[in-house]
Structure 1
């Protein structure tokens, strides 16, 4: 459309309409100069064009805006629809895991449990892994499709679980736990939904109550006990099941204030473990543990006993029991010491000097006080017993002191104290005839009583006592011998030895041990200057360390453990090594030193003592070598 046509359209008059009459002005183009008229007409045309273009641009903008808004709304609707689809295709709540099986059982009975899983989603669960967790007293068995994952768990790779699919697996095992125990089995599935990223876990658990155990355990002890008095814990056990049980052990957990003395049978690991081994159906046994118990008046001391088996490093409990003992008070106090100590280990042949002190801590005088001392131990030489006063009963091994011996005992006043003494010697040796002849103990139990000591309705009569248990240290013999004419190692060189020439000798170290087992045993010796140790030894696997430098010249025999009875019930521990000498002129007419100061050291596993003693030196004067005779002095060089 031309500008003229636009103008006519905008200013079109109605038919017969007359234009308004205007006066002549300078703005009328008819009367204005030509250049002014043209100029005015151009501005008017530009305004008309600009208005039309603006209207068209606004229409285009609105059309574009509506298009974009519509597209955005459509995108949002599609996105919401997609998210809604994904949301409805997977929900963790629609993955089900369940366990089914016995919820009540007998300890030791074989059990089978079923684990069901179901995917109620539309999406697939990728890389699904089933994990079963259980406590240490559940022992899995016959589950070849599962793989162990550390202690207390098994895993099974289920792969991918498609939507609307389900499955089930079984696993088996036994529970070993005391009656009344409650354990939990847990099943969980770890998976990744194909429609989502990240891992999810769905899980469930099942509780199982133990109604009874095939092994019955009981423990007994006094309900009331005076402070620092002797106590015995008796443990009884029996297999009430229909099958034998192997690898059984009994474990004891002692109360605070208990001091272990001995056990029958002997404990096999420390003072708190006993190996029972195999228990046949109906088989039973008993353990008696002796010691003393101390504590504040009216305090309760609790001891616990367990029976079970070892599973790796874990102790799996079949049954457990506990017993409580209350510490009660007494107006009479009694204490004893031996050789000035209230806790000691002793040696064969040692003299024991006993002092028993007693006191009335009550508020009233006590009449006719009696003091007794009961001695136990086959190691005591009762013939050596020496008493200042009192009487000894050789049958009961009890010493008794009464008012007829000490007048103060007739009426023992509040705060009054007293003292009695005696001595007895330990035998020089003890018979060792079997492997159980070891771990010897000497026990002494001092008691004080009076007819005026009160008796309570709920308690027995309170008698104060004090017990001492003295363990006897092991008896070790180290024998050092030497030979030129030896049956084990062949020696060489001139006899008698000559200046400037090498001569060798065989040295034997032989160890015998009685009474207790030893550990960390070794023999250390200084090899004198001028002598050296060769590589010859017997047995070949003997651990001999020879260190030579300008300051030290040491030989160490690392022995390790030595059982009680070595050298008595069986062969002694022995090593043979060879020493070489090359005499110098100043040694002419003298015996040459072969082995210097020898030291034996070990740890006594029963008493806990660190044992250390010195052995003899050895020279070329070897009286034990009968063939050598007097040919031991160095001769001049020929």
Structure 2
């Protein structure tokens, strides 16, 4: 603190002294003149000075120059070394001698330039090492196009394979055979990618050589044909019949068919039914040479002279999306023109406008023919003909307002029986009708019964040049008759293939066993997917005693349902050949509450099946079976009621 005060007082004293009027500069601090005139000093270099400096450099200048020369030489040497190192590296990578190069690894393929889709493809792959150093731990990787399958198991996809080649010495080669089954659309180009991976001594890096092999699918493993009308009236039903056929020598699995419909087409139905949406069918497996058919029915609408294009595709189903194709085998289009007829026709069978209609055999078929004049002028002498072709009972044909000629099987409506047809005005329309029955089934003569109706309407009109010309329109309808699957359920006690026990009439609180017999017969068409089922009441016991050694009979204890999986049955079974039959035993212990009653032993029996000819789903039911076992020859009246 004292030092600070002391310094402060000295500063104050100095300040006071400097501000004093008596202050004077000490003499010793005054600078004396040098006697040199400042204006005589030059501020630049003369040419002579510059020359002397260059010719006679100072020591400092000589040192700086030597340093600059050294740096320049060092830089030039570095650049030269870099260029030399780069040249050596390039030689190592791309040059010859003992250095490895992928250009010296040759991959060659020996095989066909084309192959049929679905057929086995064999290729011989040769890997040749033209380097002076061995290829170590070499592998051949083969990447196949989508949809390729293993030739040993066509259900297995084959996206890629890896073959270990081991070490391939200098100048050596390695041969590998590869086999696969390719699928694709006819004429398509497929590529197989071949990659050889290898290592070299003293390095952990993996080197590779690639090659692509292109092959053409000469023919599709699947082909299909499409049959349909090429012209159709707007708003009228149309059918497209598709036939798929296997061209492969191998089984084709997971086959799928997709249709793309044009604008104006309304899907109605198909045989068989679609698997997804209204345009995708899962065909499944197709054996060599096997054919499968798809019939698509719908209504096409549009303006006169417009065209509509249907597109169809077939191939292998994708594993990622069950509604998509992974590999397309074949595609096709069908062009249909829309026309507006002068005289329109529609055929309605039993109220149905379907082009392919089915009805139970033996039933009466009612046919209505609807017609209309679409011209702006009158049509004279209109005549409608309906020719009946097929399995029809001629004696059953009945016509309203027309005439049936049994010699030609033609029904005719004209002005002779209806004066209205003498002149039909623009926009006039009407309906004519008739009915018939199919041929009678005798057990052997009738198989796959079918009737075709070929209807035409014609007349005459005056053209724009006042010349009489004929106008005509036609239509066709197919009618198939469903088979009659007949189930005859019965119940016995004293007879049948199974030995029964217990009292008849049944006695309260005492068990009596019965044998239930199902007999199935079939008339005109083959049928499949047949299942017969019935449920047992809660007071009935399933004994598990059956006579179904060659049949599939099951009992579900949860819902108490007995089911017989018949499978398929041929036409004529039970008539020209033996019927199918199965029997099973049940136990009945009556309760006191059932005394004097006739209890139900088996509830209604249900039959479901598919007609293989018409494609129709068949379904029927039969009534309950009770203790009134009248089908047993030894049964006596009164034995049906429970006694105490």
The answer to whether the superposition gives a TM-score over 0.5 is yes
How far is 1:572 from its partner?
Answer: 3.0
Question: Given the alignment, which residue of 199, 211, 224 partners 1:193?
Answer: 199
1:445 corresponds in structure 2 to 454
SS of match in other structure, 1:497: coil
How far is 1:415 from its partner?
Answer: 1.8
Say if 1:273 and 1:363 are closer, same or farther in 2 by CA, change over 3 A: farther
Counterpart CA distance in 2 for 1:514 and 1:222 is: 33
2:51 corresponds in structure 1 to none
The 5-angstrom pairing of residues 385-424 of structure 1 reads 385-424=397-436
Counterpart CA distance in 1 for 2:385 and 2:438 is: 21
1:522 corresponds in structure 2 to 531
- Is there any run of 5+ residues in structure 2 with no aligned partner, and where? 1-66, 273-280, 316-324, 465-469
- Is there any run of 5+ residues in structure 1 with no aligned partner, and where? 1-61, 264-269, 280-284, 308-313, 456-460
Counterpart CA distance in 2 for 1:201 and 1:371 is: 79
1:542 corresponds in structure 2 to 552
Question: Given the alignment, which residue of 601, 624, 627 partners 1:617?
Answer: 624
How far is 1:506 from its partner?
Answer: 0.9
Q: Does 1:333 align with 2:344?
A: yes
SS of match in other structure, 1:87: helix
1:433 corresponds in structure 2 to 444
Counterpart CA distance in 1 for 2:493 and 2:378 is: 78
SS of match in other structure, 1:496: coil
Counterpart CA distance in 1 for 2:239 and 2:462 is: 21
Say if 1:214 and 1:609 are closer, same or farther in 2 by CA, change over 3 A: closer
With normalisation by structure 1, the TM-score equals: 0.65
Counterpart CA distance in 1 for 2:196 and 2:423 is: 82
Which range moved further: 101-110 or 443-452?
A: 101-110
Tell whether the 8 Å contact from 1:230 to 1:467 is kept in structure 2 after alignment. Answer: no
Which range moved further: 583-592 or 493-502?
A: 583-592
Tell whether the 8 Å contact from 2:225 to 2:244 is kept in structure 1 after alignment. Answer: yes
Question: Given the alignment, which residue of 524, 527, 532 partners 2:541?
Answer: 532
How far is 1:211 from its partner?
Answer: 7.8
Counterpart CA distance in 1 for 2:308 and 2:479 is: 27
1:502 corresponds in structure 2 to 511
Q: Does 1:481 align with 2:490?
A: yes
1:599 corresponds in structure 2 to 606
Counterpart CA distance in 2 for 1:528 and 1:430 is: 38
Say if 1:127 and 1:447 are closer, same or farther in 2 by CA, change over 3 A: farther
Say if 1:363 and 1:570 are closer, same or farther in 2 by CA, change over 3 A: same
**RMSD (Å) for aligned C-alpha atoms:** 5.6
How far is 1:610 from its partner?
Answer: 4.3
2:41 corresponds in structure 1 to none
Which range moved further: 114-123 or 617-626?
A: 114-123
Q: Does 1:373 align with 2:381?
A: no
Counterpart CA distance in 1 for 2:360 and 2:227 is: 34
1:351 corresponds in structure 2 to 364
Tell whether the 8 Å contact from 1:98 to 1:187 is kept in structure 2 after alignment. Answer: no
How far is 1:133 from its partner?
Answer: 5.5
How far is 1:188 from its partner?
Answer: 0.6
How far is 1:463 from its partner?
Answer: 4.1
The CA deviation string for residues 218-248 of structure 1, in whole angstroms up to 9 with x for no partner, is: 9887765656588898999999xxxx97989
Tell whether the 8 Å contact from 1:499 to 1:634 is kept in structure 2 after alignment. Answer: no
How far is 1:409 from its partner?
Answer: 2.8
Say if 1:212 and 1:570 are closer, same or farther in 2 by CA, change over 3 A: same
Say if 1:139 and 1:580 are closer, same or farther in 2 by CA, change over 3 A: closer
The CA deviation string for residues 335-359 of structure 1, in whole angstroms up to 9 with x for no partner, is: 1222323135322333332222211
Tell whether the 8 Å contact from 2:122 to 2:180 is kept in structure 1 after alignment. Answer: yes
- The number of aligned residues is 531
Which range moved further: 507-516 or 298-307?
A: 298-307
Tell whether the 8 Å contact from 1:516 to 1:606 is kept in structure 2 after alignment. Answer: yes
The CA deviation string for residues 561-613 of structure 1, in whole angstroms up to 9 with x for no partner, is: 23242434544333212121223445445544322333333444555544333
Counterpart CA distance in 1 for 2:511 and 2:222 is: 70
Question: Given the alignment, which residue of 359, 362, 366 partners 2:375?
Answer: 362
SS of match in other structure, 2:93: helix
Q: Does 1:98 align with 2:111?
A: no
Say if 1:306 and 1:503 are closer, same or farther in 2 by CA, change over 3 A: closer
The CA deviation string for residues 96-130 of structure 1, in whole angstroms up to 9 with x for no partner, is: 32334554789999987553433445554444333
Tell whether the 8 Å contact from 2:537 to 2:600 is kept in structure 1 after alignment. Answer: yes
The CA deviation string for residues 292-322 of structure 1, in whole angstroms up to 9 with x for no partner, is: 9956444255688999xxxxxx999999987
The CA deviation string for residues 132-166 of structure 1, in whole angstroms up to 9 with x for no partner, is: 5566999998xx9xx99833766543223345544
